[in-house]
Chain A
Amino acid sequence: MGLVYSTGRRAASFAASFRDTCAFLGEAFGAMAGVAPRPRSFRFRDFALAFQRAAYEGLAITSGIGLLLGIILAFESAAALRTFGAEVYVSDLLTISLFRELGPLVTAIVLAGRSGSAFAAEIGVMKVDEELDALTTMGLPPVRFLVPPRVFAAVLAMPILTVCAELAGLAGGAGVLQIMGVPVPVFWAHVKGTSDLFMVGFGLFKSCIFGFLVGMIGCGAGLSTKQAADGVGVAATSAVVAGIVAIAVADGLLAVVCHVWGV
């Protein structure tokens, strides 16, 4: 009996959260689509603030991590390639891995940690303090009011941050190779030769998708904050965890798509 009961309860709560998620997605997409016909309803100031926090204030950490990533990748791969006297191909490896994969991925993980959690906490506090109720009774649906500015900010911040991380990574790699005897102009020639517009563009497209996921998941987690002492903390944690999982899943799916298309 107990098993049946607890299974039923779990199924019911899963169904309820699935329903809430669908409702949130529907409302959020509606709200974002509604910005185009009614630009006046867009909270530009919230957008500017969220963008500043995500992009401008995240620039240093993202570039720093990109730089370290470039240095580490260059060191590790140079150690292996040196045995063949092929250190110069480190630049090719670095270019492909940063532009295609690591640049967008690492930037998105940093964004999930910084902005995804911040969105969840901000909105979570508003929920606990009845601010969301106040919006509702003012006739301002919280999803319409809060979600589009933050999601757009995350989507727009991602490509900028990604480019910075990638350039910093390349600079780090160039430095390491310089020490190992590969001059910087040679490095850049290889970078230019290996990269193409599609590769860079696809990486940036991916980064926009990741930004969208981080923004939506952060806002969704904030809106479903529970009225409990640890509600906001739980919401912020789940925003980061779910954000990183979603990024990994999306990255995997995009890799499969690329493979099928043969690009």
Chain B
Amino acid sequence: MGDYIVELENVDAGYPGATILRDVSFSVSRGEVFALLGGSGCGKSTIMKHMIGLNPVLAGTLRVAGLEWGPRTRAELCRKIGVMYQSGALFGAMTCLENVMLPLEEFTSLKAAARREKAMALLADVELADAADKMPQEISGGMKKRVAIARAMALEPEVVFLDEPSAGLDPITSSALDDLILKLRRERRTTFVVVTHELASIFKIADRCAMFDKARGGMIALGAPAELRDRSPDAFVRRFFNRGGSNGK
């Protein structure tokens, strides 16, 4: 089986009655930072929703930590993953701190003070300790995403899915976020599956990436970013990676 945390075999992705990507196969190794790339509307969020068990795949098999999503495995798999949605999806009725504390409250036996301390540490990691008592409506889009990342990390999941973490962030925060991802990967061997458009970020953090295309309805490239930039047989893929000049690793 290899040490793969996410495996897709001949997966058709989409919604009932609307196949968007056909015959997608790739695997994400443990401890890897894996990027999902492609133009807007090509199906990156769709394929991520399959990976996090929200929508069943239309065909093929998808395994997370060796298990397929199903009623029996759901509870176990949910404990292994953390998710940051494209919109943040913070709970609007709770403060930022309460949002981060919620998974701790529901799934750990930590005392209230310990939960609070841990949640504050997580918020400090994303540099938002001072926004702890704000409501989600009172903070900016980029801040929401960072709170959502803190929430996704709360239970120290094995694999974290991030849907466009750096969209809407300034370059400095965005780069700090990249550093955070690398640090967590180093310290906890957390795996990251990241949807992103930022070339700089791809070259900085991604070990490998998969690229999708809407017109061709499938995956068009798979490999390390630098390798795809220099040696992809596909001119479109090479052009995508060269867009940002030569800011390689």
Contact = CB atoms under 8 A, between A and B. Distances in A.
Contacts of B90: 131, 134
Contacts of A137: 52-54, 78, 81, 83
Contacts of A133: 49, 54, 85, 89
Contacts of B52: 137
Contacts of B89: 129-131, 133-134
Given A129-B87, A130-B87, A138 B92 contact: no
B79 interface: yes
B4 to A, nearest CB: 20
A133 B86 CA distance: 12
A131 B86 CA distance: 11
B83 A134 contact: yes
A125 B87 CA distance: 13
B240 interface: no
Contact of A139 (B74, B86, B87): B74
DSSP class of A's interface residues: helix, strand, loop or mixed? Answer: helix
B75 A139 contact: yes
A140 interface: yes
A130 B107 CA distance: 21
A138 B83 CA distance: 8
A138 B106 contact: yes
B223 interface: no
A211 B54 CA distance: 32
Interface in B73-107: 74-75, 78-79, 81, 83, 85-87, 89-93, 102-103, 106-107
A133 B89 CA distance: 8
A72 B212 CA distance: 69
A136 interface: yes
Contacts of B75: 139
Contacts of A126: 91-92
A139 B107 contact: yes
B162 to A, nearest CB: 13
Given A125-B92, A133-B89, 17 more contacts: A126-B92, A129-B87, A129-B92, A130-B86, A131-B91, A134-B85, A134-B91, A136-B53, A136-B54, A137-B52, A137-B78, A137-B81, A139-B74, A139-B75, A139-B78, A139-B106, A140-B106
